[in-house]
Chains A and B, each alone.
Chain A
Amino acid sequence: MVVLFYIFAALAVLAAISVVAQRRPVHSALSLILVLCALAVVYLLLGAEFIAVIQVIVYAGAIMVLFVFVIMLLNAHEETPSERSRMARWLGPPLLVALLVEIVLAIRKQFPAAGTPAAPAVAAGPAAIGHLLFSDYVLPFEVTSILILVAILGAVVLAKKEF
């Protein structure tokens, strides 16, 4: 199990690097899909089958299809490197290091040191998640629905010029 975790975690990190390193937009999008699928496997290893499958259905199977579609329809070609600004070159690396240190510190604070007994596994099945969504998290859930509804209406208004 641990070996599988390291394989897929490494895959996720490499694919994530590839998202920003690729020149062609379609290749970046494909790398992002790989990241999402590798993360789904990590969820699976954590015993959260439902979340893993939903991750693939929603993100890799629906949202990324839209990304790929847009890239294909706009016929986006290879990107040419822009004029690199001097400031980015000097300020970029230190800021990146600072961000990484911050993330590591935050994660260290959040999680107990190795060796302490693992927390008991929470029920992550569809039923448990459904109960949580419609009891403790009902307000965020409904607010998100309304937000998506507004986005749909906005998209329809933008797409339909005349009524």
Chain B
Amino acid sequence: MGTFSDTGLLLLITLIKIAVVVFVLLTSIAYLTWLERKVVAHIQSRWGPYRVGLFGLLQPLADGVKFILKEDIVPDDVDRIVYLLAPFLGLSLALLSIAVIPFGESFTIHGRTVAFQISDLNVGLLFVFAVTSLGVYSVALAGWSSNSKYPLLGGLRSSAQMISYELSMGMAVVGVVMLSGTLSLRGIVNGQAGFFHYHGHNTFIPHWNIFPQLIGFFVYFTSAVADTNRVPFDLPEGESELVGGYHTEYSSMKFAMFFMSEYANMITVSCLATILFFGGWHGPVFGPYALRVLLPVFWFGLKLFGFLFFYIWMRGTLPRFRYDQLMAFGWKFLLPLGILNVLATSFVLAWITS
């Protein structure tokens, strides 16, 4: 590698990181569908996929092949450019927000420190919110460009829901930002190291934001579930009312792309929940250097898995909201609660620091 300049090496490292992260993310998306089918099946006393491979583990591959081989139908009278753009936009935005997520600390190789993160933006949290807020277009445009009434209604519902719940999601994280004093995701995780102390005594309660920000976490996770259009807030897909929602007119791989972006958004939102409220990669670390480097990543993955499992568990448990209930819940309960949480946090912080 002696011929490489410093910038070239940096570029190479970043490219490798991007390739690894995208590969892991896409594989996780594929196996999240398997996990969901399996868990929901067992909740409902069924077997779920078990024929393709051991425990049905090859099912995502079979699904992928099926999606690629299916006929790709573009209906007449659609707005072609927008119709084709919508699924691409959705998936690329969903994959983009992973760029600022820190998965673990860093390791040193040949005297060079490599962090488990593609890019440590100093406004990382806001970056994720910006990318998520653009995701609305994918849904709204898919519904509109299909030139058909059910997708249009589904798209409108969906985007109205996403805009409404993004507000309370933003409010919910303000408390965490005030506690950490930074918008960098790495900084927020670093602020949660160690344990709480009470009059100089170690309490062995991890210094995670969930404890002072329980209400914030509740508001965040509820709006996150609504923002990703999942049960019990999956009205955009209300089969009984809307056929299939905004993606009714999409087939083959384009349909699959909407689903992939939904699962990618679930992963992003769960990553954020882990980072903001559950201490990110912090956990017991011991052993030799390699283990010290890899254990934080393992803890991060474990917490992330917990959230994803909870998502699926909710889907197997809860019925769907009615649309007016959904809007009333978002605007009249979650948003005021989020604002109250911001006020309370700022008062307590001002009282402590004064």
Contact = CB atoms under 8 A, between A and B. Distances in A.
Interface of A: 24, 26-27, 30, 33, 49-50, 53-54, 56-57, 60-62, 65, 68-69, 72-73, 125-126
Please classify the interface of chain A as helix (H, G, I), strand (E, B), loop, or mixed, using the class held by over half of its residues: helix
Contact of A68 (B79, B126, B137, B152): B137
A69 B129 contact: no
A24 B137 contact: no
Interface in B126-149: 126-127, 129-130, 133-134, 136-137, 140-141, 143-145
Given A62-B163, A65-B140, A57 B126 contact: yes
Contacts of A24: 79
Contact of A53 (B81, B123, B144): B123
B188 interface: no
B152 A54 contact: no
B140 A60 contact: no
Contact of B130 (A53, A65, A73): A53
B183 interface: yes
Contact of A49 (B123, B141, B159): B123
A41 to B, nearest CB: 12
Interface string B230-257: 0000000000000000000000000000
A139 B141 CA distance: 39
Nearest to B136: A65
A60 B143 CA distance: 19
Contact of B126 (A26, A33, A54): A54
A45 B202 CA distance: 45
8 contacts: A26-B79, A49-B123, A54-B126, A61-B134, A65-B136, A68-B141, A72-B152, A72-B156
Nearest to A44: B121
B159 A57 contact: no
* Contact size range, B: 20 to 34
A102 B81 CA distance: 37
B27 interface: no
Interface in B152-166: 152, 155-156, 159, 163
B82 interface: yes
Interface of B: 79, 81-82, 121-123, 126-127, 129-130, 133-134, 136-137, 140-141, 143-145, 152, 155-156, 159, 163, 183
A158 B343 CA distance: 31
A112 B318 CA distance: 64
Contacts of B145: 26
A163 B141 CA distance: 35
A17 to B, nearest CB: 17
Contacts of B79: 24, 26
A60 to B, nearest CB: 6
B184 to A, nearest CB: 10
Nearest to B135: A61
A152 to B, nearest CB: 13
Nearest to B122: A49
A123 to B, nearest CB: 12
B246 to A, nearest CB: 12
Contact of B123 (A26, A50, A62, A73): A50
B133 A68 contact: no
A69 B134 contact: no
A30 B82 CA distance: 9
Nearest to B144: A72
Nearest to A53: B126
Contacts of A62: 133, 163
B116 to A, nearest CB: 21
A69 B158 CA distance: 12
A56 B132 CA distance: 10
Contact of B137 (A33, A54, A126): A33
Contact of A57 (B81, B133, B156, B183): B133
Contacts of B136: 61, 65
Contacts of A126: 123, 183
A146 B134 CA distance: 28
Given A65-B159, A69-B156, A72-B156, 9 more contacts: A26-B144, A33-B137, A49-B121, A53-B126, A61-B133, A61-B134, A68-B137, A72-B140, A72-B152
A54 B79 CA distance: 30
B285 to A, nearest CB: 31
